[in-house]
Amino acid sequence: MTQEEKVAQMYVIGTSSRTDYSKLNQYTFGGHLYLLDSFKNTSGGIQKVNNIQNQIATSQSESKIPLIMSIDEEGETVSRLNSTLYTELNNLGIMNEKFKNSCDLFASGGLEAIRNDTIYKSGVLKYLGFNLDFAPDIDIADSTAYIYKRTLKQNAQTTGQFAKTVIETGKSTGVSYTLKHFPGYGNSIDTHNGFGTDNRPLSDFENKDLIPFQAGIESGAEVVMVSHNIVTCFDANTPASISKPVHDYLRNNMGYTGIIITDAINMGAIASKYSTKDSVIKAIQSGNDMICLSMDEGQTDTTGGAKLTYAGIIKYITDAVANGQISQETVDTAVTRILAWKYYTGLMN
């Protein structure tokens, strides 16, 4: 692989109704992320199911290396399909009911309902061409917290069983699942809009928030997503997603060997302080294997006003390796993990 091909593997590009896939598909990016707007057309209407399927299939066929096709499909509160393709998928007999929040599933049928939902959800996602779901949310929070409605609304031990159930069930479906948001979102504010700071001691995390992550890791979790919260017991100044102590703890203390991925690196919490270039470099320096970046060709960077291009974001990293900010070993290790994961999941022969 060329250096540019290696570096491109480290990105998952979030798309939109404005995305020019003919340009996007010219690069060997690690994957694509379909956001809510990705299912709309340029006039604001909802695309047809076969359009999405063909779009994904074309991207896969044009890619030198098979793509991770990802989506945020947690349940009712965070769902891309409930409000877009559900009606057509229902008419096709593929999606017989809308996705529900994990807390409602658990309340109605316990872990068996979670297991059945994972199988059902995977079937819908595979039908469309997706192979990675950025779920489950295994955070633990108080009832007044921003994240609470997306959680299981149970204690650490039960949430750990939830994580174990989704990860183990997902492995039999051909869709990978993601533990998020490490090291635990807690009661922090919505990081789409600004920084959240969690001042709890490490003991609180070890006795509660980290328990579900450990259960998921021991069950063979392939992907862990790191939050943008500042968690002061790990790092008093830097968001977790770009903090080396946070990533070191995940690797060294929890024994995690899979893919670490950022939440969207240009969300408000990060973009309010860092340019895309700086946040990407910091994300890799801290220990991420992959970076979620929602962008279209020629989009203006929120911080600094630079134009974002697909070639340009690859150059951010190749230049950082050339000038010694990032080591070649760091890139090669991350890309080896990514390719090994794609091989393990059956995407690569």
Region 259-277: what's the mean pLDDT? 85
Per-residue pLDDT tens digits for 43-55: 999 999 999 999 9
What residue type is 62 in one-letter code? E
| Position with higher pLDDT, 188 vs 273 | 273
Strand pairing class (31-34; 11-14): parallel
Token pair of 154 as six digits: 């149970």
Q: What is the mean pLDDT of the chain?
A: 94
What secondary structure, in 3-state letters, does the chain show?
CCHHHHHHCCEEEECCCCCCHHHHCCCCCCEEEECHHHHECCCCCECCHHHHHHHHHHHHHHCCCCCEEEECCCCCCCCCCCCCCHHHHHHCCCCCCCCCCHHHHHHHHHHHHHHHHHHHHHHHHHHHCCCEECCCECCCCCCCCCCHHHCCCCCHHHHHHHHHHHHHHHCCCCCEEEEEEECCCCCCCCCCCCCCEECCCHHHHHHHHHHHHHHHHHCCCCEEEECCCEECCCCCCCCHHHCHHHHHHHHHHCCCCCEEEECCCCCHHHHCCCCHHHHHHHHHHHCCCEEEEECCCCEECCCCCCEECHHHHHHHHHHHHHCCCCCHHHHHHHHHHHHHHHHHCCCCC
4 alpha-carbon distance from chain centroid: 22
Question: 214 pLDDT exceeds 60?
Answer: yes
Per-residue pLDDT tens digits for 19-74: 999 999 999 999 999 999 999 999 999 999 999 999 999 999 999 999 999 999 99
Per-residue pLDDT tens digits for 231-255: 999 999 999 999 999 999 999 999 9
CB atoms within 10 A of CB 349: 5
Per-residue pLDDT tens digits for 156-193: 999 999 999 999 999 999 999 999 999 998 876 555 55
Task: Verify cis geometry, omega within 30 degrees of 0, for the bond prior to 183.
Answer: yes
Look at residue 189 in the predicted model and tell me its pLDDT. 56
Look at residue 279 in the predicted model and tell me its pLDDT. 93
Per-residue pLDDT tens digits for 115-166: 999 999 999 999 999 999 999 999 999 888 888 999 999 999 999 999 999 9
Residues 178 and 223: beta-carbon distance below 8 Å: yes
Q: What pTM does this model have?
A: 0.95
- Separation between Cα atoms, residue 317 and residue 128, nearest integer Å: 32
Task: Verify cis geometry, omega within 30 degrees of 0, for the bond prior to 136.
Answer: yes
In this prediction, what percent of the chain has a pLDDT beyond 90? 85
Look at residue 197 in the predicted model and tell me its pLDDT. 87
- Separation between Cα atoms, residue 46 and residue 37, nearest integer Å: 9
Look at residue 269 in the predicted model and tell me its pLDDT. 67
Contacts of 158 (CB under 8 A, 6+ apart): 152
